[in-house]
Structure 1
Amino acid sequence: MALPRPHISQIVFIPTIFLSAGLLFFVQPLFAKLVLPFVGGSSSVWTTAMLFFQTVLLLGYIYAHLSTKYLSVFWQIALHIGLWAVALLFVPLSVKSNWIADTSTISTTNTLLIFATGVGLPFAVLSANAPLIQKWYSRSGGPSADDPYFLYSASNLGSLIALLAFPLIGEPLLGARMIGLIWAAGFVILGGMLFWSGRLARQNNIVISKSVDAAPLGAAPNNLQRLYWIILAAIPSSLMLAVTSKISADIGSFPLVWIIPLALYLVSFIIAFSGKRFISQQRQAVLIPACLIFLLFATRIEGISAVGWTNFTILIATFFVLAIIAHKRLYDARPSENHLTQFYIFMSLGGAMGGFFNSIIATHMFNDIHEVPIVIAAASILIWTGKTKPTQNDFIRAIIFAVIAISVALLLPSLIRGTLAQPNLIAVTFVGFLLIFILKNKEWQTAISLALFILVTYFATQSNHIYQSRSVFGVHRILEEDGIRKYLNGTTLHGAERISEHGTRPTPLTYYHPNGPMGRIMQAAQTPDTTSIGIVGLGVGSLTCYRQDHQKWDLYEIDPVVDDIARDPKLFNFMDQCAPDIPTHIGDARLVLAKQAPKNFDILLIDAFSSDAIPVHLITKEAIELYLSHMNDNGVLVMHISNRYFALQKPLSKIASELGLIALGTNHIPETKDDNADQASAVTVFARNQIAINRFIKDDKWRPLISNYRHLWTDDYSNLLSTLR
């Protein structure tokens, strides 16, 4: 039997692994969008979803390793095609319409179950393909069959294109169900390509097995090598998530912020596994410590300022360089093709461990984004090239150098404070580069010294807040400025109180000020015929001070930490002074309301944005219909849509037109320059009839929403990019 022509192998295997990776990356956002109305928009849902995908990816790699180790090529093909055929029973992807998550708790089990039963097997089949296809290629007789790792570049290119195509092309043009049908078609085509790839591998494998000149097996990797693979994979994975968190928290959750770091993460794989060397060892010796110091500099800048986009550029550029270097080290440490599947298991394990540290451990252990300096310090190991081992003297000298540098960095600001802005930041950066210069070409001493220097100087110069905590929904900070106590989640102010009013009935400030649109509506609601009000999104409870004794209020809040902050009289007094008896329903508001009997609200106010993130499932046609079912005929739906990046009145006007509602909007500009008292806000109001509007709209600052938006947002279709300002 003749060997297949080399160009035939490339024509088959490269498109196969490319398509498989594209389907793999497409299925994650696709299924997440499908389940959103059923499990809610809790951050824990996304954390659990990522945990599920990373776990199944690892299981897929283990399956590929075991099947190639213990089965002949024929049975590998038979088993994998069989699993693919069974997975066809799960496509097109869907969720049972009667599935509603438990809203009383943040249920990891519920989320894992819905993902496992909906997409588990198709995702597992796709997960196994990268190592399996590369292993089959090594049996195909194609070019570089003895070193098939170049196919991983094609795999990551497919992942990158899918990553960009879903939000930029798929969502704007198609609904989730149509995307699902196209994905299903691709999954069917993949089955044929997998069979063809396996057939080429089996044909050539028969010839190789009969050859007396077959290449000997490569040396099996030891535990130290496996640990090295895990570390090299964990660092860029953790760094990607840390950089994303830092950008979201301190610069802003601008549109699709997560795509840029993830896309660069995939590009770094493509570059590293192409086999070409883009950064020499000599340049790495300079770049790695410099990138670490620049990252330290960038992570010490807090808040939105003129340096925001400079900070963003530093974070992204330094992360990208370090990711390329780490993945190139990983590529250089790869074993022979005989141990290829084992290599991918430990590489996947490292990536999952990096993600687990950021997504699970850090959110529960730290009260701030402390994983950023920790992973920067851990990345100092990249300075080590593996050519020498550290001695006891290396450790001693490194600690001495670090102690001296830290001391100088902490003392220097007091000497330059009167002459330079941000003296702490400048001093730390300067001393860091001085440390690199002193320790150049001393790998272990530089690595250890920088790691200690980064950790100590970061934590020693942390900002002081009155209160700071962290949940899966972000970092919560309370600070005092100009006689005002403020609560911030991410970069967004969610409430404020005058310190002088502490212990008394405080005046609602910021968006909720009596002069603002929400304040005016609540004042108009202080009448005997307004008896039932619902508030989605608690903040510090500012709106509760508009409550009247005869009224029944219901509060809905997804984050228990926010409820604790609002109810703590040592922090804010709105709830304590105005409405300590109002119940708070904890959980995603849409899921909670779906399980409740009709509330007959006179006013239902939606104020559920966290930082600038948009919970799209709360502003679809189905969501608005749910809200209306809880309102009486003469009630109004009020939505606070202030946002730096999105004009949400566009899709809301279309939904109002579709449902036959009266829709009004206003963009409030404070008359005074005291931003702490009264802040600009954008608010929309929806009602079934003019009587409802006349009940609560008592001024002429409202204008009808014009429905010139083409697309109707539903649970199946939404397009955030089309609402960009």
Structure 2
Amino acid sequence: MVAKIILPYFGGGSAVWTACMLFYQSLLLVGYLYSFCISKLKTVYQQLAVHSVLLVVGMALMPLSLESIATTEISTQPFFDIFTLLLLGIGAPYFVLSATSPLLQYWLSHSVKSVQVYRLYSVSNVAAMMALFCYPLIIEYNLALSMQVWMWSGLYIAFSLFNFYCLYQVYRNTDKKATQPVQTAQSKLASGVNITRCIKWFLLSATGVILLVSTTNNLTINVPPIPFLWTLPLALYLLTYILCFFDERVYLKWYWNLMFSVVSLVALFLFSIGSQFAITEQICLYLVVLFVACIICHGEIAKSKPGNEDMTLFYLILAAGGCAGSVFASILATELFTQYYEYIVGICLVFVLSIAMEWQKQQGKVERKLVYLNVVGCLVFVSLFYLMQSQFNKYNVYESRNFFGIIQVKDIVNIDNPQRRLIDGYTSHGAQALAHQGKPMPLSYYRPETGVGIMLNLMANNGSGNKVGIIGLGVGALAYYGQAQDEFVFYEINPDVEYVAKRYFNYLTTSAATIDVRSGDARVSLANDYQQNGAQGFDMLIVDAFSSDSIPQHLLTREALALYEQHLAADGVLVFHISNSYLDLRAIMSGIEAQSGLQSRYFKTSDSATDTDQAEWVIFTSNMRYLADPQVVSRSVPLREVSQNVIQWSDNHSSLLSVIKL
């Protein structure tokens, strides 16, 4: 819920979810550290008293308030902006939530001797998994964000009241004057908790989280980052904990290690050529790989869990490992790698840890065949990865990675018309012919016969001195249509894209128009422009931010449309690029038409012998000079002829489930 609230202010990509995951893991660690420390207080009465105060503080902060988000200014470190926002907005309530489960399990183990506390850990994860599925399928789809916040606040108060009841029951059934036994080094050694065991828990926990975060990142390269798809990997991750802690017999070492040797090769093909798989195939295969890997990690953790006395230490180490894995996959990997290589690191870690754990077995005979299986599996995986990456990257001219994702510039020379392309994940964001002379001709979605090419040429034919706003820079191909005395204003959130467009492509530098590239989220920039300088008076405003799979929903809401209309000239044209492999945005366009009262035209340009990209563009205008033009009449149709459904999004309610192509 909170990730969805902050999503519009940080570009709409899966990195927002990754940052939220890091916050979750970090505060979970703090909560578990608190649980560990409070369990060392001398009496249970003291422990209950301290935690009761914390529950009261959490309730006092309800209802949840996230008003500070709307006034947030994004810095050059969006990860830390998100972390700060979450800490100020939900830090205290979530801290209480994170500390509750291990503490209740610890107290129950002392007050109800027959209870199997580690099974309660499974039950708590079942509840978390149910909530993950309920949110995108029921809550997000049916409730506005404001209602979701109120509902969560109410549930939190109910949770706190139930906690008071549980604390009262523990108070009744526990000797308040009984003191905690002091564990000496000898007693800890007898319980089996040593440094080797702690390192094992830490590394296994970290590996599971690395694979969770990297799977989410890789999955949303080609698949729209809707919350439902974000939650699927996390739900499966929790399911492996549920199964392994409910019954240790789920983890059959030979079976799951053999299975992992097979699915690791599937992971390699997904990583290298994921775009060749259908959307459902990608989702299913990525989740199978994650499930098998996490069964191994969490199965080994469950088999080596300590007794009840060391439960809070055990949970603390798991949380520390999870936090370390999240930091590596969310922050360090962005600095170390130009692609999502942390996914490959996670796969290799499963192999290496499986080998190490078998060799260091203190009880029972080392199964050498199992060791050989993992050694061979790891060597084959690494060798194939090297070969496939050398082929995949041989056309690379430039690649970079930041918070907003991965971009690559590739020179594709093995085709009839060699091109230089800008690739975001696996999605092309524009191209330029390598053999061009002088001013390069736009290719792909921006060629002259597409809807946007027709409209920009018509505008140029009607005179110079036009002002055009463009949301989404890409390679800057639309600058080609600029004439002398025209002004083209580009809005681009990713600073690396601006660098690439100026350094590796020639559209911006050869345009006759005055070019202005403004960094930051387009909607925030447009709102600031209106407040500071008034309406921009665009003769044409082009919204080109949806061909990628990270859909910024906040650019399609009624509030966004109202902002666009403020900046349009009286007879201006609003243009949307809706080409997308996985989403059908025509119903959203119908909603915009109904809200604006403008007339629409839908352009669909088929692929050609020289360009394989189909282009879909929709225009909205009241300017009859454009609508009656023979080119527009012959190349387009009214939107209602291709879309009978009408969907209107608002900042308070939107769901990509309604427009996903299955």
Q: C-alpha separation between the residues in 1 aligned to 2:16 and 2:219?
A: 21
Q: What TM-score, normalized to structure 2?
A: 0.88
1:631-650 maps to which residues of 2 (within 5 A)?
631-650=568-587
Q: Does 1:95 align with 2:66?
A: yes
Partner secondary structure for residue 585 of structure 1:
strand
Whether 1:592 aligns to 2:564 is no
- The Cα shift of 1:653 comes to 2.3
Which of 446, 453, 463 is the equivalent residue of 1:519? 453
C-alpha separation in 2, matches of 1:364 and 1:595: 31
Following superposition, the deviation at residue 535 of structure 1 comes to 0.8
**Matched ranges for 1:261-340 at <5 A:** 261-296=233-268, 298-299=270-271, 301-305=272-276, 313-340=284-311
Contact 2:55 2:96 in 1 (8 A): yes
Give the deviation of 1:211 after TM superposition. Answer: 12
- Match in the other structure for 1:497: 432
Check the 8 A contact 2:574/2:621 in 1, yes or no.
yes
Q: Does residue 1:545 correspond to 2:480, yes or no? A: yes
Q: Residue 575 of structure 2 aligns to which amino acid in structure 1?
A: V
Partner of 2:618: 684
- Distance (Å, rounded) in 1 between the aligned partners of 2:62 and 2:162: 18
Contact 1:654 1:710 in 2 (8 A): yes
The count of residues paired between Structure 1 and Structure 2 equals 637
377 and 143 in structure 1: CA distance in 2 versus 1, 3 angstrom threshold: same
The one of 333, 336, 357 equivalent to 1:365 is: 336
CA–CA separation in structure 1 for the residues paired with 2:632 and 2:69: 42
* Residue 469 (structure 1) aligned with residue 399 (structure 2): yes
Per the TM alignment, residue 487 of structure 1 is displaced from its structure 2 partner at its CA by 2.1
- Relative distance call for 1:711 and 1:84 in structure 2 (3 A) is farther
1:630, distance to aligned residue in structure 2 (A): 1.9
Code of the residue aligned with 1:363 in structure 2: it is T
Alignment gaps of 5+ in structure 1: 1-29, 392-438
Partner of 1:431: none
TM-score (norm 1): 0.81
Give the letter for the 1:469 counterpart.
E
CA shift at 1:543, angstroms?
0.5
Moved more, 154-163 or 99-108: 99-108
SS in structure 1 opposite 2:135? helix
Q: Paired residue for 1:26? A: none
The Cα of 1:536 is off from its aligned counterpart by 0.8
Query: Corresponding residue for 2:203?
Result: 231
Aligned to 2:168: 199
Give the counterpart letter for 1:504 in structure 2: G
State yes or no: 1:242 paired with 2:214.
Answer: yes
Q: 465-474 or 188-197: which moved more? A: 465-474
Secondary structure of the 2:249 match is coil
| Equivalent position of 1:69 in the other structure | 40
Distance in 1, Cα, partners of 2:155 & 2:179: 37
State the distance in 2 between where 1:163 and 1:698 align: 46
- Inter-partner Cα distance in structure 1 for 2:84 and 2:218: 31
Specify whether residues 513 and 40 from structure 1 end up closer, same or farther in structure 2 by C-alpha distance, changes over 3 A only. Answer: closer
Percentage of matched positions with identical amino acids: 30
Q: CA deviation at 1:71?
A: 5.7
Deviation for aligned residue 1:79: 2.8
Aligned partner of residue 614 in structure 1, secondary structure: coil
* Residue pair 2:547, 2:580 contacting (<8 A) in 1 also: no
Residue of 494, 497, 501 corresponding to 1:562: 497
Change (3 A) 1:78 1:626: farther
What is the one-letter code of the residue matched to 1:561?
D
C-alpha RMSD over aligned residues: 3.1
Equivalent position SS for 1:555: strand
Label 1:51 to 1:236 Cα distance change in 2 as closer, same or farther (>3 A): closer
What secondary structure does 1:369 align onto?
Answer: coil
User: Which residue pairs with 1:113 in the alignment?
Assistant: 84
Q: 1:185 aligns with which of 154, 174, 178?
A: 154
The alpha-carbon distance between structure 1 residues 696 and 88, as it changes in their structure 2 partners (threshold 3 A), is: farther
What SS class does the counterpart of residue 550 from structure 1 fall into? coil
What do residues 320-355 of structure 1 show as CA deviations (whole Å, max 9, x unaligned)?
A: 122112111111221111121111111111112222
SS in 2 for 1:277: helix
* 1:319-718 to 2 correspondences below 5 Å: 319-384=290-355, 386=357, 388-389=359-360, 441-444=368-371, 447=374, 450-462=377-389, 463=392, 464-471=394-401, 472-477=403-408, 478-480=410-412, 481-482=414-415, 483-485=417-419, 486-501=421-436, 503-526=437-460, 527-528=462-463, 531-568=466-503, 571-578=504-511, 582-596=515-529, 597=533, 598-609=535-546, 611-658=548-595, 660-670=596-606, 672-676=608-612, 679-687=613-621, 690=624, 698-706=632-640, 709=645, 712-718=648-654
Secondary structure at the residue paired with 1:209?
A: coil
Larger displacement relative to structure 2 (481-490 or 539-548): 481-490
With over 3 angstroms needed to count, the CA separation of the structure-2 counterparts of 1:176 and 1:229, relative to structure 1, is same
Structure 2 residue aligned with 1:260:
232
In 2, distance between residues paired with 1:312 and 1:104? Answer: 33
Q: For 1:193 and 1:647, how far apart are their aligned partners in 2?
A: 45
Instruction: Return closer, same or farther for 1:451/1:334 CA change in 2, 3 Å cut-off.
Output: same
What's 1:724 paired with?
A: 660
Aligned partner of 1:166 in structure 2 is 135
202-211 or 541-550, larger mean C-alpha shift: 202-211
Q: In the TM superposition, what is the alpha-carbon distance from 1:102 to its structure 2 partner?
A: 2.5
Structure 2 residue runs without a partner (length 5+): none
* Partner in structure 2 of residue 60 of structure 1: 31
The AA in structure 1 aligned to 2:605 is I
Q: What residue identity is the alignment partner of 1:627?
A: Y
| 1:258 partner SS | helix
Give the counterpart letter for 2:322 in structure 1.
G
Shift of 1:688: 5.7
**Quick one: distance in 2 between partners of 1:618 and 1:257?**
21
Distance 1:366 1:109 in 2: 19
Q: Distance in 2 between matches of 1:581 and 1:529?
A: 12
Residue 419 of structure 1 corresponds to none
Looking at structure 1, the residues matched to 141 and 509 of structure 2 have their Cα atoms a distance apart, in angstroms, of: 46
Q: Cα distance 1:494–1:294, how it changes in 2: closer, same or farther (>3 A)?
A: closer
